[in-house]
Amino acid sequence: MPAPDLDTIVSLAKRRGFVFPSAEIYGGFANTYDYGPLGVELKRNIREAWWRAMVRERDDVVGLDAAMLTNPQVWVASGHTETFHDPLVDCRECRRRFRPDHLEEGEYGEIARDDQGRIRCPNCGGELTEPRLFNLMFQTQVGTVADEGSTAYLPPETAQGMFINFENVLSSMRRKLPFGIAQTRVSFRNEITPGRFVFRTLEFEQMEMEYFCRPDTAPEWHAYWITERERWYTDVIGIDPARLRIRAHETEELSHYSAGTSDIEYEFPWGWGELEGVANRTDYDLKAHSRASGQDLTYFDEEANAHITPYVIEPAAGLTRTIAVAMLEAYTVEQDEKGDDRVVLKFPSAIAPIKVAILPLSKKDTLAPTAHRIHQLLRPHWMTQYDETQSIGRRYRRQDEIGTPLCVTVDFETLEDEAVTIRDRDSQAQVRVPIVGLVDALRERLPGL
């Protein structure tokens, strides 16, 4: 099925409690979003699926949770204060600000040009200034006196936490090359961007891993991580491989630290866009921090009997961007037996916000105690939802639309035979199972959860 348009997903996300525009009661706040009761579960599940693949199921990667506010010298040494800029143009009439590459790439639709071929403002048609460089990092003040010495930065990536803790992890965890350090955390960038839901926001969550290896093995590991990460999107997040591609950066696109980056791109409703970058950061960061801090950040290579500075391969994914993609991919419209549209979010079970819904056939008091007993039986195992309002057909539709893989229906027969019905979201098949065997029957249908 072709991916839906973005408006369909934005509206479902709001209506069903996944993602809300932030501060809506005050008229909103550009490019910021709040995650609602179901969005927070989806986010947690995707983060957990990433952690599972990158840390829990591997011997060569460990986790980290570094402070967000840190010594500003970190950002000087990493090159971010000097080079983490976007060129921006301003409209001389309406004062709106744009990224010239976004204008060229058609992110604001068809653009008008003057008779000398210069782009006009897509908002009011006014004249645009020449591009000027703006640093993307947000600044803040630490302490009570606002002077230059108190300036700190909100992190624009999680990666630096891994580099400045390289020696700590190496010695405390007795690691040998190759090994990785992984972290998921919020990052901040002062992005000027056309509103495209959670694709590009001021505050977003990243899932990054720095994989330290011998310099001569870096090309091999780079290729390995590109394949591995693409596989994660298809096998775990459920993305159709036809809507994924790998694109190597042109030299002029490369970040200041990269000797080569390949993006895993997704075909969004508006065209191809980055989902994850897999970069060969070489020894850039470890050497930069070693120079700036005066600390030795080398590794003793027993094979070579020498100290070396490892190279780093970095798969850097966007958690919040993956949420948009997971919803776009899961969205399906089918005809039900009456010929009506049935909207289903066909999330893989591992990322579905609610795994099992408990639905008493009627709201009557006679069914409630048994239905509540079943709810109590299931909730220690999975994220569940109890719903007794409206007709059973409507409740099934509601669960389909939020992507709940399984519903358990409690009916009047249950009171006689101590059995319930499990209904499958995708096939809509129903099977009757005894309550004593319910947890096992559900576990069989939710493997690994």
Least separation in angstroms between CB 23 and ligand GAP: 18
- By beta-carbon proximity to ligand GAP, the closer residue of 213 and 378 is 213
Given phi > 0 = left and psi -120 to 50 = alpha, else beta, which region is 242? alpha
Angle between helices 368-378 and 438-445 (to 10 degrees): 50
Closest listed residue to residue 401, CA positions, set 387, 418, 415:
387
Of 204, 225, 331, 347, the one binding ligand GAP by CB under 6 A:
204
- By beta-carbon proximity to ligand GAP, the closer residue of 284 and 382 is 284
Which residues lie below 8 Å from residue 172, measured CB to CB, with a gap of 6+? none
DSSP string, 31-48: T-EEE-HHHHHHHHHHHH
- By beta-carbon proximity to ligand GAP, the closer residue of 206 and 399 is 206
Report if residue 276 touches ligand GAP, rule: CB under 6 A: yes
Report if residue 189 touches ligand GAP, rule: CB under 6 A: yes
- By beta-carbon proximity to ligand GAP, the closer residue of 201 and 385 is 201
Least separation in angstroms between CB 352 and ligand GAP: 22
Least separation in angstroms between CB 317 and ligand GAP: 6
DSSP string, 93-149: TT--EE-HHHHHTTTTSS--B-TTSPBPPTTT--PBPPPEEEE-PPEEE-SSS-SGG
Read off φ and ψ for residue 301, nearest 5 degrees.
Answer: -90, 105
* Residues 78 and 161: beta-carbon distance below 8 Å: no
Least separation in angstroms between CB 210 and ligand GAP: 9
Give, as ranges, the residues between 206 and 265 that touch ligand GAP (CB under 6 A).
206, 208
- By beta-carbon proximity to ligand GAP, the closer residue of 317 and 367 is 317
Least separation in angstroms between CB 179 and ligand GAP: 18
Of 180, 277, 353, 360, the one binding ligand GAP by CB under 6 A:
277
Least separation in angstroms between CB 381 and ligand GAP: 32
Least separation in angstroms between CB 206 and ligand GAP: 5
- By beta-carbon proximity to ligand GAP, the closer residue of 320 and 404 is 320
Tell how far CA 209 is from the center of its chain.
14
As a whole number of angstroms, the distance between CA 438 and CA 229 comes to 35
What are residue 181's DSSP bridge partners? Answer: 62, 210
DSSP string, 353-416: S-SEEEEESS-STTTHHHHHHHHHHHTTTS-EEE--SS-HHHHHHHHHHHT-SEEEEE-HHHHH
Residue 341 is encoded by which pair of tokens?
A: 């549209």
Least separation in angstroms between CB 318 and ligand GAP: 2
Report if residue 267 touches ligand GAP, rule: CB under 6 A: no
Least separation in angstroms between CB 33 and ligand GAP: 10
Site string for ligand GAP, 332-351 (x = CB under 6 A): --------------------
Least separation in angstroms between CB 314 and ligand GAP: 6
Give, as ranges, the residues between 307 and 326 that touch ligand GAP (CB under 6 A).
314, 316-318, 320-321
Which residues lie below 8 Å from residue 327, measured CB to CB, with a gap of 6+? 9, 12, 13, 18, 42, 345
Least separation in angstroms between CB 193 and ligand GAP: 7
Of 107, 274, 283, 411, the one binding ligand GAP by CB under 6 A:
274
Of 78, 184, 201, 409, the one binding ligand GAP by CB under 6 A:
201
- By beta-carbon proximity to ligand GAP, the closer residue of 286 and 344 is 286
Q: Compute how many other C-beta atoms are within 10 angstroms of the C-beta atom of residue 116.
A: 5
Least separation in angstroms between CB 167 and ligand GAP: 20
Given phi > 0 = left and psi -120 to 50 = alpha, else beta, which region is 237? alpha
As a whole number of angstroms, the distance between CA 154 and CA 70 comes to 9
Q: How big is the site for ligand GAP, counted in residues (CB under 6 A)?
A: 19
Read off φ and ψ for residue 101, nearest 5 degrees.
Answer: -65, -35
Among all residues, whose Cβ is closest to ligand GAP? 318
Angle at 163 between CA 293 and CA 46, to 5 degrees: 155
Give, as ranges, the residues between 22 and 81 that touch ligand GAP (CB under 6 A).
none
Of 41, 107, 157, 388, the one binding ligand GAP by CB under 6 A:
157
Closest listed residue to residue 255, CA positions, set 234, 279, 235, 290:
279
* Residues 430 and 423: beta-carbon distance below 8 Å: yes
- By beta-carbon proximity to ligand GAP, the closer residue of 184 and 385 is 184
- Binding residues (CB under 6 A) for ligand GAP: these are 157, 159, 189, 191, 200-201, 204, 206, 208, 274-277, 314, 316-318, 320-321
